[in-house]
């Protein structure tokens, strides 16, 4: 896909969202269900996947780790955004890779140390690019990728979170 094809594909959406701002507001959803042992089945667009405890919390490593899934979502979103931005800017990427890694202190989630945080303390995203673009173009590419990557911006801003419950009949 080239920049013109991308613009043509997105033009009707952008026009509609300018005219009807509420049409751009979409609620994405995910659901899961407790599985065998200490697992949870997550319904994805590609089918069910089973998440479980990370080996650092007693898991056997056979199930997906939700922390890994978070980093995978960040890598996927950053990669798609990078590709779209490069296309829009006319920057050819012969190859590109996104690496996301995060640091956790499992004492927090295991309740071993009340002062240890639960969750990632730091997350790093690194891009490896094969391109003829100069450093100024690459800086612009990465700045715009960071700006428009939904998962990155969600993690950076920390959205409002709520929890509720209902009883199953």
Tokens of 116: 């240890």
Residues facing residue 123 across a β-bridge: 102
Q: Which of 129, 26, 6, 151 is nearest to 77 (CA)?
A: 151
3-state SS assignment for residue 18: helix
CATH T-level assignment (fold) for domain 65-158: GMP Synthetase; Chain A, domain 3 (3.30.300)
Q: Is the pLDDT of residue 45 over 90?
A: no
pLDDT of 89 reads 96
Residue 168 contacts residue 90 (beta carbons within 8 Å): no
3-state SS assignment for residue 54: coil
What is the 8-class DSSP label of residue 72? H
Q: Write down the domain spans for the chain.
A: 29-64, 65-158
Instruction: Give pLDDT tens digits for 95-128.
Output: 999 999 999 999 999 999 999 999 999 999 999 9
Sign (positive/negative) of CA torsion 100, 103, 109, 115? Answer: negative
Q: Is the pLDDT of residue 169 over 90?
A: no
Residue 100 contacts residue 145 (beta carbons within 8 Å): no
47's CB contacts (< 8 A; 6+ apart) are none
Mean pLDDT for all residues in the chain: 95
């Amino acid at each position: 896909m080239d920049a013109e094809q991308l613009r043509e594909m997105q033009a009707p959406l952008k026009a509609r969202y300018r005219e009807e701002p509420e049409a751009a507001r979409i609620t994405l959803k995910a659901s899961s269900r407790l599985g065998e042992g200490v697992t949870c089945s997550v319904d994805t667009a590609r089918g069910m996947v089973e998440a479980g405890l990370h080996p650092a919390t007693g898991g056997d490593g056979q199930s997906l780790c939700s922390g890994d899934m978070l980093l995978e979502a960040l890598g996927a979103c950053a990669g798609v955004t990078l590709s779209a931005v490069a296309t829009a800017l006319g920057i050819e990427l012969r190859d590109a890779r996104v690496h996301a890694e995060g640091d956790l202190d499992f004492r927090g989630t295991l309740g071993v140390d009340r002062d240890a945080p639960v969750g990632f303390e730091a997350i790093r995203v690194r891009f490896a690019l094969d391109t003829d673009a100069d450093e100024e173009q690459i800086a612009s590419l990465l700045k715009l990728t960071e700006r428009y990557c939904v998962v990155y911006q969600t993690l950076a801003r920390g959205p409002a979170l709520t929890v509720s419950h209902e009883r199953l009949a």
